[in-house]
Amino acid sequence: MSDKYDVIVIGSGPAGYVAAIRAAQLGLKTACIEKWRNAEGKGVNGGTCLNVGCIPSKALLDSSYKYHEAKDDLAVHGITTEGVKIDVPSMIGRKAQIVKQLTGGIAGLFKANGVASLMGSGKLLAGRKVEFTDNDGAVQVLDAENVILASGSVPVDIPVAPVDGDVIVNSTGALEFDAVPERLGVIGAGVIGLELGSVWSRLGSKVVCLEAMDSFLGMMDKMIAKETKKILTKQGLDIRLSCRVTGSEVKGKEVTVTFVDADGKEQQETFDKLIVCVGRRPYTEGLLAGDSGVTLDERGSIYANDICSTSTPGVWAIGDVVRGPMLAHKGSEEGVMVAERIAGQKPLVNYDIIPNVIYTHPEVAAVGRTEEQVKADGEPYNVGMFPFAASGRAMAANETAGLVKMIAHAETDRVLGCHIVGPSAADLVQQVAIAMEFGSTAEDIGMTVFGHPTLSEAVKEAALAVNGHAIHVANKRKRKK
198-216 confidence digits (pLDDT tens): 999 999 999 999 999 999 9
Please give the model's pTM, rounded to 2 decimal places: 0.95
- Exactly one of 68, 77, 419, 452 is catalytic; name it: 452
Written as one letter, the residue type at 364 is V
d(CA 344, CA 305): 18
- What are the chain's domains? 4-154+281-342 (3.50.50.60), 168-278 (3.50.50.60), 362-466 (3.30.390.30)
Each residue's pLDDT tens digit, 108-150: 999 999 999 999 999 999 999 999 999 999 999 999 999 999 9
Q: Judge residue 403's burial from the number of C-beta atoms within 10 Å of its C-beta, 0-12 exposed, 13-18 middle, 19 or more buried.
A: buried
Is there a catalytic annotation at residue 419?
Answer: no
Computed over every residue of the chain, the mean pLDDT equals 96
The rounded radius of gyration (Å) of the Cα atoms in the chain is 24
Which pLDDT belongs to residue 3? 75
pLDDT of residue 481 exceeding 50, the answer is no
* pLDDT the model gives residue 476: 82
Residue 152 pLDDT exceeds 70: yes
Contacts of 267 (CB under 8 A, 6+ apart): 243, 258, 259, 260, 261
Q: How far apart are CA 176 and CA 431, in angstroms?
A: 35
